[in-house]
Amino acid sequence: MNEIIWAYDYGGRSRRKWPAKHDTILVYAKDPDRYFFDQDAIERIPYMAPGLVSKAKAERGKLPTDVWWHTIVPTNGKEKTGYASQKPEGILRRILSASSQEKDWVLDFFAGSGTAAAVARKMGRRFVMIDRNDEAVVVMANRLGTASVRYVDGRFRRVTVQMDESEQLGLLR
């Protein structure tokens, strides 16, 4: 349905080619002819050239396009989980604000650190997170806990996940 480019300007830089400083985020809908999109729920951003628009337009800001400039998760930020490909909550908040309503379901097949679930929970959405990486499941368990969350695998087997040195949780993984 949509391909969003998240551009950022942090991290290592190649000296032999243009450094890759973007991720591609694919947005899907169950039915491409029937989906929810609330343009009014999207936080507006400043115009890059505010002098080219009226003062009222400049003050209101503009709707983002499919290329988004947004910082990475700060290394000392409170949302940092240590998962290598973690997305910032601001990116997921923009997506979920526009494409879901309270009590809707959010599905992420590559859940990683669970950012979509963390944001969905804060916004009153229900969620299903899927990731085949065992490390991702542990990171999500540490981030989301077990209150109102079930962890399952394809066989619905109960496993014990080591969450930290002082605590073990029996999870349905």
CB atoms within 10 A of CB 74: 11
- The residue length of the chain stands at 173
Q: Tens of pLDDT along the chain (173 residues)?
A: 899 999 998 878 889 999 989 999 998 888 989 999 999 999 999 999 999 999 999 999 999 999 999 999 988 889 999 998 999 999 999 999 999 999 999 999 999 999 999 999 999 999 999 888 888 888 998 999 877 777 766 566 555 454 554 444 444 33
Q: What is the pLDDT of residue 103?
A: 96
- CATH of residue 145's domain is 3.40.50.150
When divided into structural domains, the chain yields a total of 1
Q: What share of the chain is helix, strand, coil (3-state, %, to 5)?
A: 25, 25, 55
Predicted confidence at residue 126, as pLDDT, reads 94
CA distance 78 to 86: 13
pLDDT at 28: 86
Q: What is the pLDDT of residue 22?
A: 94
Predicted structure pTM score: 0.82
User: Residue 90 sits in which domain range?
Assistant: 2-172
